[in-house]
């Protein structure tokens, strides 16, 4: 299968592991000025510093954070940048976590309508106090909202704009909102090796 590319778009991979399971969430950023090694490094550094404390707030000490990788997925580009977390960078909560299959889902929306114009991020690894049966506790919702708010911010002085990418349309659309449809626990694809939401 040929590699899929999207013009003027960067994939940002937030990577960590839990009990040997490799996990990642992939975020897209659109750009209007071609990335350089310096701006890509600034992007991964900003994402690492902004997202890490938001992930740590709801994940347990069994989560080990590894890196943030940015990759320009525009046709003809192989530019990448990596920010590596210091050794032993872990979540903030005691290791009494629920199963990784118990996940919350953040919906990413644009101003366009249709399935190809929106995305989702599955998040898991919650402390057991944040899940009650099949529902997410009210204490977890603001922590997820804090991460969602960071997803909406432009980076590196506005050079990189949060987006939802469509391989079908070969385009990236500006992210306009991040929300939770409900407080139900959902299944989690990102806990599986080599899978991202």
The label of the residue with tokens 């954070």 reads: 65
Within a domain: 184: no
- Cβ atoms of 80 and 69 within 8 Å: the answer is yes
Within a domain: 137: yes
**CA 183 to each of CA 55, 102, 104, 161: distance values in angstroms, whole numbers, following the listed order:** 18, 12, 7, 28
- Cβ atoms of 85 and 120 within 8 Å: the answer is no
Within a domain: 46: yes
Query: What crossing angle do the helices spanning 37-56 and 141-151 adopt, rounded to 10°?
Result: 170
Within a domain: 50: yes
* CA gap 135, 33 in Å, rounded: 43
pLDDT at 69: 98
Within a domain: 197: no
| Per-residue tens of pLDDT for the chain, all 197 residues | 467 789 999 999 999 999 888 999 999 999 988 899 999 999 999 999 999 999 999 999 999 999 999 999 999 899 999 999 999 999 999 877 888 888 888 999 998 888 888 888 888 888 888 888 788 888 899 999 999 999 999 999 999 999 999 888 889 999 999 998 778 876 654 443 333 43
- Cβ atoms of 196 and 190 within 8 Å: the answer is yes
CA 96, 100, 103 angle in degrees (round to 5)?
A: 105
Residues in the chain: 197
Per-position DSSP letters for 19-71, written without gaps between them: TTEEEEEEEEEEESS---HHHHHHHHHHHHHHHHHHHHTTBBTTEEEEEEEEE
Within a domain: 23: yes
Report the number of distinct structural domains present in the chain: 1
Alpha-helix residue ranges (DSSP H) falling in the chain:
37-56, 141-151
Domain span at 130: 9-179
Within a domain: 172: yes
The label of the residue with tokens 């977890």 reads: 140
Within a domain: 97: yes
């Amino acid at each position: 299968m040929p590699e899929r590319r999207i013009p003027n778009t960067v994939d940002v991979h937030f990577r960590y592991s839990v009990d040997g399971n490799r996990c990642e969430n992939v975020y897209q950023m659109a750009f209007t000025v071609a990335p350089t090694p310096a701006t890509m490094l600034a992007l991964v550094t900003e994402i690492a510093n902004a997202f890490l404390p938001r992930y740590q707030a709801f994940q347990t000490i069994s989560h080990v954070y590894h890196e943030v990788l940015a990759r320009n997925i525009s046709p003809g580009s192989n530019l990448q940048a990596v920010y590596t977390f210091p050794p032993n960078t872990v979540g903030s909560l005691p290791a009494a976590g629920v199963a990784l299959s118990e996940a919350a889902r953040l919906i990413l929306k644009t101003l366009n309508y249709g399935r190809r114009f929106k995305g989702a991020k599955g998040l898991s690894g919650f402390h057991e106090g944040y899940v009650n049966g099949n529902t997410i506790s009210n204490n977890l919702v603001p922590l997820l909202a804090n991460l969602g708010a960071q997803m909406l911010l432009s980076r590196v002085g506005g050079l990189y704009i949060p987006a939802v990418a469509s391989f079908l349309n070969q385009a990236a659309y500006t992210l306009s909102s991040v929300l939770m449809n409900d407080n139900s626990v959902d299944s989690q694809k990102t806990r599986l090796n080599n899978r991202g939401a």
